[in-house]
């Protein structure tokens, strides 16, 4: 799993493995000779979403949480501009609560902002933007026993995604939603018998006791763009995801965020001297026989099946050198060249 040149794992995916192994009572700090928490700590990710996931998984594994990672959560918690996505806010709440429960640190004063922001994100249909964001928001709000949201509507929204066969579309989504429907959260991975006699995580240096001054660093400028997937020359399947990312974030890093939120956007890449080459998205692999490849287009408006993009709209650079712009539409189209 660790020696491949392909790119099968994002930081968030490794964190998910850590949480899964912790729930099974595996020693992730000595897993086949490797400390998986150390791998997480050295690859915390570029997104605040990934950073929060790393703290949560590290804490659940009983490993020390670095002050730098804790401080980053403080920055999210005390963001006066409410710039962070629902997923990031919810994971930050879960991560901070884990640290509080495994150390003796009080985090209540740090959680009021994220919790209040989450409550305002609930929409008329009961959800929090999409299925995966709703899963995380429900866990965070339940954990904090927040009163200002409609829990029944949120659960009904989740149940509305159940298919006729009883699943929720795919294995990943089904395994994610079932614990939530039973009233559990990601923090419950440490409630099995093998964890009851163990210690908790510690912050290796004292975290700041007050919010970091807002004057020391300006909040990042965020941009919104839409990532699209078209499958087949005749466009048999389409997927899209609206993303909010810091300005000057590469498309490659944005794709990692998209993959964490929707399994249809999971991808694999090969590392070439000039960067990452995407050969698989959503389980659809390029086919050299038949010349079927993933082509990358940069568009000013939503792609239209009735008026398909032309070759002049192909990106001249790879995913490491594409930096999405405000309002842009970026399309990966699996087609014959």
Per-residue model confidence (pLDDT) at position 180: 93
Q: How far apart are CA 174 and CA 177, in angstroms?
A: 5
Per-residue model confidence (pLDDT) at position 143: 85
Contact yes or no for 36/63 (Cβ under 8 A): no
Please check if 311 is assigned to a binding site: no
| pTM of the entire predicted model | 0.61
Q: How far apart are CA 12 and CA 314, in angstroms?
A: 30
Can you tell me which residue has the tokens 């956007």?
Answer: 265
Those residues whose C-beta lies under 8 Å from the C-beta of residue 140, and which sit 6 or more positions away, are: 89, 90, 91, 93, 94, 114, 115, 118, 185
Please check if 278 is assigned to a binding site: yes
Per-residue model confidence (pLDDT) at position 53: 86
Per-residue model confidence (pLDDT) at position 197: 55
Per-residue model confidence (pLDDT) at position 4: 41
Contact yes or no for 330/297 (Cβ under 8 A): yes
Please check if 176 is assigned to a binding site: yes
Spell out the domain ranges in the chain: 11-195, 222-336
Per-residue model confidence (pLDDT) at position 243: 92
The correct answer on CATH 1.10.3470.10 for the domain covering 11-195 is no
Please check if 2 is assigned to a binding site: no
CB atoms closer than 10 angstroms to residue 210: 9
Please check if 295 is assigned to a binding site: yes
Q: Walk along the chain (337 residues) and give the pLDDT tens digit of each residue.
A: 444 433 445 677 788 888 888 888 888 888 888 888 888 877 666 567 778 888 898 888 888 888 777 878 787 778 766 667 788 889 999 998 888 887 767 777 788 888 888 999 999 999 998 888 899 999 999 988 888 899 999 999 999 999 999 999 888 788 889 999 999 998 888 776 665 555 445 555 544 444 444 444 456 788 999 999 999 999 999 999 999 888 888 999 899 888 878 878 988 888 777 788 999 998 899 998 889 999 999 999 999 999 999 999 999 999 989 999 999 999 999 999 8
Tell me which residue of 144, 131, 130 sits closest to 185, measured CA to CA: 144
Give me the count of residues in the chain.
Answer: 337
The correct answer on CATH 2.170.130.30 for the domain covering 222-336 is yes
Per-residue model confidence (pLDDT) at position 227: 98
* 3-state SS record for the chain: CCCCCECCCCHHHHHHHHHHHHHCCCCHHHECCECHHHHHHHCCCCCHHHHHHHHHHHHHCCCCECHHHHHHHHHHHCCCCCCCCHHHHHHHHHHHHHHHHHCCCCCHHHHHHHHHHHHHHCCCCCCCCCHHHHHHHHHHHHHCCCCCCCHHHHHHHHHCCCCCCCCCCCHHHHHHHHHHHCCCCHHHHHCCHHHCCCCCCCECCCCCCCCCCCCCCCCCCEEEEEEEEEECCCCCEEEEEEEEEECCCCHHHHHHHHHHHCHHHCEEEEEECCEEEEEEECCEECECCCCEEEEEEEECCCCECCECCCHHHECCCCCCCCCCCCCCEEEEEEEEC
Q: How far apart are CA 91 and CA 97, in angstroms?
A: 10
């Amino acid at each position: 799993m660790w020696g491949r040149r392909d790119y099968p794992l994002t930081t968030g995916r490794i964190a998910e493995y850590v949480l899964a192994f912790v729930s099974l009572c595996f020693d992730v700090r000595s897993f086949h000779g490797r400390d998986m928490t150390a791998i997480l700590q050295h690859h915390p990710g570029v997104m605040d979403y990934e950073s929060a996931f790393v703290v949560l998984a590290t804490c659940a594994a009983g490993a020390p949480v670095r002050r730098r990672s804790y401080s980053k959560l403080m920055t999210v918690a005390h963001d006066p501009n409410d710039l962070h996505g629902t997923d990031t806010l919810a994971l930050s709440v879960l991560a901070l609560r884990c640290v509080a429960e495994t150390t003796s640190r009080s985090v209540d004063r740090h959680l009021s902002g994220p919790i209040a922001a989450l409550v305002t994100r609930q929409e008329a249909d009961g959800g929090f933007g999409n299925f995966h964001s709703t899963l995380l928001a429900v866990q965070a709000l339940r954990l904090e026993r927040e009163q200002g949201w409609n829990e029944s509507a949120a659960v009904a929204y989740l149940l509305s995604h159940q298919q006729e066969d009883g699943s929720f579309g795919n294995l990943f989504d089904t395994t994610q939603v079932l614990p939530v429907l039973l009233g559990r959260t990601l923090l419950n991975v440490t409630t099995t018998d093998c964890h009851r006699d163990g210690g908790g995580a510690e912050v290796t240096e004292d975290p700041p006791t007050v919010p970091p001054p807002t004057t020391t660093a300006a909040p990042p400028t965020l941009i919104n763009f839409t990532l699209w997937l078209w499958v087949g020359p005749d466009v048999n399947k389409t997927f899209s995801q609206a993303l909010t990312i810091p300005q000057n974030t590469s498309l490659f890093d944005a794709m990692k965020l998209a993959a964490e939120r929707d399994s249809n956007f999971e991808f694999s890449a090969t590392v070439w001297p000039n960067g990452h080459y995407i050969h698989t998205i959503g389980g659809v692999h390029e086919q050299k026989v038949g010349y079927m490849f993933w082509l990358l287009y940069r568009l000013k408006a939503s792609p239209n099946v009735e008026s398909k993009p032309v070759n002049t709209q192909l990106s001249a650079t790879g995913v490491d050198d594409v930096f999405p712009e405000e309002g842009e539409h970026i399309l990966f189209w699996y087609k014959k060249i």
